[in-house]
Amino acid sequence: MDQFTINLLFVGGSFALYFGIAIWARAGSTKEFYVAGGGVHPILNGMATAADWMSAASFISMAGLIAAGGYANSTYLMGWTGGYVLLAMLLAPYLRKFGKFTVPDFIGDRFYSNTARLVAVACLIIASVTYVIGQMTGAGVAFSRFLEVDNNTGLLIAAVVVFFYAVLGGMKGITYTQVAQYVVLIIAYTIPAVFISLQLTDSVIPAIGLFSNHTESGVPLLQKLDEVVRELGFRDYTADVDNKLNMVLFTLSLMIGTAGLPHVIIRFFTVPKVADARWSAGWALVFIALLYLTAPAVASMARLNLLTTIYPSGPTEQSVEYAERPDWMQTWETTGLIKFDDKNADGRIQFYNDVPAFKDEATARGWEGNELTVNGDILVLANPEIANLPGWVVGLIAAGGLAAALSTAAGLLLAISSAISHDLIKGSINPNISDKGELRVARVSMFVAIAVATYLGMNPPGFAAQVVALAFGIAAASIFPALMMGIFSKRVNSAGAVAGMLAGLISTLVYIFLFLGWFFVPGTASFANTPANWWFGVSPLSFGAIGAVINFVVAFTVSSMTAPPPKEIQDLVESVRYPQGAGGAVDH
């Protein structure tokens, strides 16, 4: 059986499962559509939350980022993990106690302001649409490789699949579909990692194998990897970073940005009571840890496998001839994610760090420039092929990668549709709309969101990585502080909350646009995006943390200069924070 047929069986079988669940769990009311009826078991909700959390960025991109940058890019791992812990410990139980459908619902009621609700809706939609574009694009890349279709066709297939089970089932359908998707993605991620760890270190547990000896050389795996990358002019894989301030701010920005992203927050509204929200948060941490503890090992082993594939006799010896490149490289070349340019016309692949510091060594070896461009996002998907694992493992990871991208896309689309139908239409424009009408608006808005995300996935704006960082920056600078102050401060009033959200949002946008182009239009940046130009050494990708500080300062300052919240709002905050005797949450 050829690889295409195997891929088709795994991907097709998993999609048949998702469709079946969507039909079985079809939402019949707004409560089922928004919060799955509020009766999801904590363990199941933990699995669904883990699938919602571990997007294409976690499944596909995170290991590729760590593989490319080593320790320096471990900020993604630390930031995303820390963000979930913040969300689970400081936000989820209290928001569940408040008992609303959505994040703007909480902000609008807590700050007794329709303006605050609308600002929160705007922030949520901008952040979520930006995020979902990345998920749809990731799904398109995976489809284009494993179903051997072009990228646009892959995106359209992904859009149809998400539309079917997200629009039909709502949160109820998404929840049980995400449980199945978690099972698929964690098996798909773990099995290849175990095989590769056994190949390189004889350890069955990848996280332990990362710190074990490399079987062939007898030296620690990370030491072997450092030696190989150093010989090719790259920075040591385990090297420390120079700008510690920027690293801390970037990690913090990712943490509070992910804690403020609404598609995961909404998951904690689906359980029956506050205690279940805490338990589901704990279970989600367990399920997330299974992948996040494995990712650094996958990244390190993938980097070593890639380099030893190109330099089978070692980095100081002759590289592989292009005509004899392995089949997996030829396959990925058709996607455009691997590119080769024979600059010295010797028929061999030269892959190294083409920087001035390595120029003399490269010249001595007859190299005239790096000849291989490898998109880091392919490493996890290509890892089984690089390690010559069986075809069924390749098919399994294809299904897992698609499950990761589609599960998060569905959650984000639900957050968008909820914000439009429940917060904008019902909360502001037409409070008397019927449940049936609200459900219809939710489904139409989700369809429009899918269409927009698919179009932008086919025609992505420039600076894709920066656009994704903008999503985290918006959430970090606007939504997260508003939630924290809404829960833990009785003194912050509506004027302070609105002023804080706008100040954090606008300052973050301006700083990013100064270096990356106004509205990301190429050529419009006011300053070159280099460390020498960054204000106080702070990267645009790290500014979300500072935007959050601005939000807090402005909100508290404005609140102190204006009237305190009404007594009933202060009592409400008190009851949310100290729910003595309240085993059940406020009803939706």
At residue 466, does pLDDT exceed 60? no
Q: Indicate the angle between helix axes 168-201 and 295-310, nearest 10 degrees.
A: 60
Report whether CATH 3.40.50.300 matches the domain 3-298+385-465: no
**pLDDT the model gives residue 587:** 47
Q: What is the mean pLDDT of residues 534-551?
A: 92
**pLDDT the model gives residue 271:** 77
Mean pLDDT of the chain: 83
With a pLDDT cut of 90, the percent of the chain lying above it is: 33
Q: 251 CB contacts (<8 Å, ≥6 apart)?
A: 75, 78, 79, 82
Most confidently predicted of 157-166, 231-240, 373-382, 385-394 = 231-240
Higher pLDDT among residues 112 and 588, named by residue: 112
Taking only the tens place, the pLDDT of each residue in 124-183 is 888 887 777 777 777 777 777 777 777 778 788 878 877 776 666 555 667 777 788 788
Q: Which of 581, 420, 549 is nearest to 484 (CA)?
A: 549
**pLDDT the model gives residue 35:** 52
The model's confidence at residue 582, banded by pLDDT at 50, 70 and 90, is: very low
Cα–Cα distance, 397 to 248 (Å, whole number): 33
Higher pLDDT among residues 263 and 321, named by residue: 321
At residue 38, does pLDDT exceed 70? no
Taking only the tens place, the pLDDT of each residue in 214-255 is 999 999 999 999 999 999 999 999 998 888 899 999 999 989
Most confidently predicted of 4-18, 305-319, 385-399 = 305-319
Cα–Cα distance, 254 to 76 (Å, whole number): 7
pTM for this one?
Answer: 0.81
Cα–Cα distance, 471 to 476 (Å, whole number): 9
**Residue 142 CA from chain centroid, whole number:** 16
Cα–Cα distance, 260 to 473 (Å, whole number): 10
Q: 291 CB contacts (<8 Å, ≥6 apart)?
A: 50, 54, 58, 59, 185, 186, 189, 190
Higher pLDDT among residues 511 and 276, named by residue: 511
At residue 31, does pLDDT exceed 60? no
Domain ranges of the chain: 3-298+385-465, 307-380
Higher pLDDT among residues 439 and 579, named by residue: 439
Taking only the tens place, the pLDDT of each residue in 191-203 is 889 999 999 999 9
Residue appearing with tokens 């992505």? 460
Length in residues, the chain:
588
Q: Which of 69, 15, 65, 22 is nearest to 414 (CA)?
A: 22
Cα–Cα distance, 106 to 94 (Å, whole number): 11
At residue 461, does pLDDT exceed 70? no
**pLDDT the model gives residue 311:** 94
